[in-house]
Chain A
Amino acid sequence: MKNDNAFKYFSLATTWIWLIIFSFVPYGLVIFASLMSHDTNHLIRLPFTLQNYVELSEPIYIKIFIKSFYIAGISTLICLILGYPFAYTLARMKSRLKGLFILLVIIPFWTSSLIRSYSMIAILKAKGIINSLLLSLGIIHEPIPMIFNNTSVIIGLVYNLLPFMILPLMTNIERLDNRLIDAARDLGANRITTFRKIILPLTMPGMIAGCILVFLPAMTLFYIPDLLGGAKSILLGNLIQNQFLITQHWPLGSATSIVLAILLAVMILIYLQSKRNKKEQDLL
């Protein structure tokens, strides 16, 4: 019996010790730092203060939060619109090659995400592929400026994050019970009604999972706005990176991180709520 417990304690202890040292404590430190004062010589110092949170309520920071949510939101929406029909077609495919088609979605994403973002520069530049093509076809006479604006940032985000939308959606659609759709048809529902009343609600969890998986990184991928946005639009990721590495205002950076984490936690709670009626079995 003693040996029995030894294994249990060993596995529990390993798990907990690791998570406490490398998750609980560091996250606690961020909260702690967000309540401290700013001093470049020591990065953080006493006394405790709420000043950093007060500062975050200034219009400029609120503007950054809003803009971040806006850009991430648009990217997520585009991923959903592009990804849903794709995932649907792929999931309902009866071909022998289905596995291969799914693999084809994943393969490009084994190339570094940085290189993929960088490839967008080659596509969108003034002398990039699109402009050269249009110029040589005589459709345009001056290169169209396509890079270094919000659109190029959104294109970069969508390109990087689309599979995170497609894969959960596909799993979800695959699990759909065909009999439900057939039943709806038999009862006289047309394609649109079937989609609206049956398929859409049933694939909601997949959509929400996909949206969260796209939305979360979209706000903090700081290298995409830097590479493709001409460093003009500060996203939350850039703001936090700046506060830590450029202004050395660690307390403010910590406070920003905490607020970001709280906002995201709220969204995740909504997600969990939507999962509650499902079985507890699959964690994600």
Chain B
Amino acid sequence: MKKLSRSYLTLIYLFFYIPIIVLMIYSFNNAQYSLVWHGFSLRWYQTLLQDNDLWISVWHSLLLGITAATLAMGIGGLAAISLYRYRFFGRNLLYGLVFILILSPEIVMGISLLILFSLLNVPLGFWALLFAHTTFCVPFVVVTVYSRIVSFDEYIFEAARDLGAKDSVIFARIILPLLWPGLLAGWLLSFTLSLDDVITSYFVAGPDYEILPLKIYSMVRLGVKPEINALCSITFGFTLLLVVISQLVLRKKP
């Protein structure tokens, strides 16, 4: 039984990793349009490193991700705190809306924002993308932060209030320090979502702000694009590096 489950796990892990490893191998293939092995070459890494547009789009994506995640963290954090602390008109509506936003099809969100922006004459580009990304990140932050906040001891707030602390003080001195891991988790989740979003961005992106996922989309549509393989190796290597570092850092703590 144990053997069976172990080999099953291995099988699924292989399913997860083999495609990525295959791409990494092909990234050294010396052929432009073909997947047939043409010999070992580092030229795609060279092409990739020299592809200015690509690095600009990486930079744009990082900027967008950081800004959108920060904004979403702010708004989502405030929303989660309000949901937890206050009884107000429309609370259930807000609650439901968060759900709807998480589960509503991305394509509908992209389209609804495209209609909004073309009606308001908002130029497609950085701002449109920022609004869109923040909007689809906010509900995820709310969920992450909320699940953290409910684990608090309610008496902390009451004690603080009894001692005469105002809401803003409670927020700054108690909620924020306690909530900070939840906020960070929400931020990271938002950042990841923003970096990987294709569908919503596809509708609201403009010419002077190309972002990485759309750049990749225009490349993968060509069927075989060796730069993508090289990019895959680089991102995968980078992820592994981050994971190893974070593991080492975490392990040091008692």
Contact = CB atoms under 8 A, between A and B. Distances in A.
Contacts of A8: 82, 85-86, 88, 167
Nearest to A279: B150
A196 B198 CA distance: 40
A19 B141 CA distance: 14
Contacts of A6: 167-168
A240 B103 contact: no
A122 B115 contact: no
Contacts of B20: 108, 111, 116, 119
Interface string B231-247: 11001100110010001
A122 B231 contact: no
A14 interface: yes
Interface in B118-159: 118-119, 131-132, 134-135, 138, 142-143, 146-147, 150
Interface residues of A, number: 83
Nearest to B202: A241
Contact of A11 (B16, B82, B111): B82
B50 interface: no
B26 interface: yes
Given A18-B75, A227-B220, A120 B146 contact: no
A219 B105 contact: yes
B143 A23 contact: no
Interface residues of B, number: 87
Nearest to A245: B203
A22 B224 CA distance: 37
B147 A281 contact: yes
14 contacts: A12-B86, A15-B78, A16-B94, A26-B113, A29-B116, A82-B12, A112-B235, A115-B23, A118-B23, A129-B22, A216-B105, A219-B105, A220-B105, A283-B98
Interface of A: 3-8, 10-12, 14-16, 18-19, 22-23, 25-27, 29-30, 33, 43, 82, 85-86, 89-90, 100-101, 103-105, 107-108, 110-123, 125, 127-129, 159, 162, 212, 216-217, 219-223, 226-227, 237, 240-241, 244, 250, 253-254, 257, 260-261, 264-265, 268, 272, 281-284
In order of increasing CB-CB distance, the 8 nearest A-B pairs are A26-B112, A119-B19, A11-B78, A7-B167, A15-B79, A118-B220, A22-B135, A26-B116
